[in-house]
Amino acid sequence: STVKKSKVLSNESRKELAKQAKETKEERRAQIDGRHRYLISRLADGIDLSEQQVEETIISDDKFQLIEQFFAPSGPKKLIFFYQDVFQQKSNASLRPDGSANNLPQKNLFITMGSTENFTGTCAFFLRTSDEVITASNVSQEVNFGMFDCTNGNILQGLEFFLSQIMIPALKSQQNWGAVKEGLKNSQIQEFLYAVDKFVGTLSSSRQNIEDKIQLRKMDIDVYVRNLQNPSDYITAG
């Protein structure tokens, strides 16, 4: 009877948790406005998901409050999403012979601080340009969207592509540099662009050095020495 009672309590607890989760999602769904719609639209376009899928993911995320903090006056300057494989255990999955759970990879979109999960897929990020409160009317001017790919964990390659193919061309075609009236002709702007180019070059060299590393393999030298009989044979083998 004790076992039956614990199962009933467990089922009731699960139902209560599910009810609370549903209520939380609906509360968050009611908060969705033009600011959220802007984020959802950019994410859907960039990651090739439907806006409905993105919305459902966002309101189900336990870090949903980071979005509200991002919109607040003087809020965080960045809001980061990862879209990558996450290992999830199915509720009916059986244990392996070694006792470990049968986890299966599934691609998920989730909000992240950027330092708590390993980055192995696609990073989508929003950057705010000022400390003003983000509203539905100014979100498209105050918030910039960007992405870079790190498939198979190749972060250097993803960052190099993002900078060299997206950011640097965008910077070099930029006409408005704020208080700097002469724009690209200004010496400080030219020094800045030179520094960015140099950084990308260093990044590329580092990546190539890592990818082109030398791997030594064990050789069977007996095949080379078994027939050596006199000094000339050794010289030839050498």
Q: Are residues 139 and 182 in the same domain?
A: no
Residue 97 has a pLDDT of 52
Q: Are residues 29 and 125 in the same domain?
A: yes
Question: Is the pTM value of this prediction over 0.85?
Answer: no
Asked whether residue 1 is assigned to any structural domain, the reply reads no
Q: Are residues 168 and 208 in the same domain?
A: yes
For 123, phi and psi rounded to 5 degrees? -105, 125
Asked whether residue 228 is assigned to any structural domain, the reply reads yes
Nearest to 58 by CA among 224, 50, 203: 50
pLDDT for 32 beyond 80: yes
Could you count the other beta carbons within 10 Å of the beta carbon of residue 114? Answer: 14
Residue 39 has a pLDDT of 97
Residue 106 has a pLDDT of 86
Asked whether residue 96 is assigned to any structural domain, the reply reads no
Residue 9 has a pLDDT of 58
Q: Are residues 118 and 181 in the same domain?
A: no
Asked whether residue 3 is assigned to any structural domain, the reply reads no
Q: Are residues 122 and 211 in the same domain?
A: no
Name the residue range of residue 161's domain: 153-237
Asked whether residue 171 is assigned to any structural domain, the reply reads yes
Q: Which one has a higher pLDDT value, 202 or 10?
A: 202
Strands (E), the chain: 78-89, 103-112, 122-128, 143-149
Q: Are residues 51 and 133 in the same domain?
A: yes
Mean pLDDT, residues 106-128: 91
Mean pLDDT, residues 180-206: 91
Asked whether residue 12 is assigned to any structural domain, the reply reads no
Mean pLDDT, residues 135-156: 88
CA–CA separation, 112 and 88 (whole Å): 17
Mean pLDDT, residues 137-166: 88
Q: Are residues 160 and 197 in the same domain?
A: yes
Of 56-65, 132-141, 217-226, the range with the lowest mean pLDDT is 217-226
Residue 98 has a pLDDT of 52
Domain count within the chain: 2
Q: Are residues 145 and 210 in the same domain?
A: no
Q: Are residues 146 and 206 in the same domain?
A: no
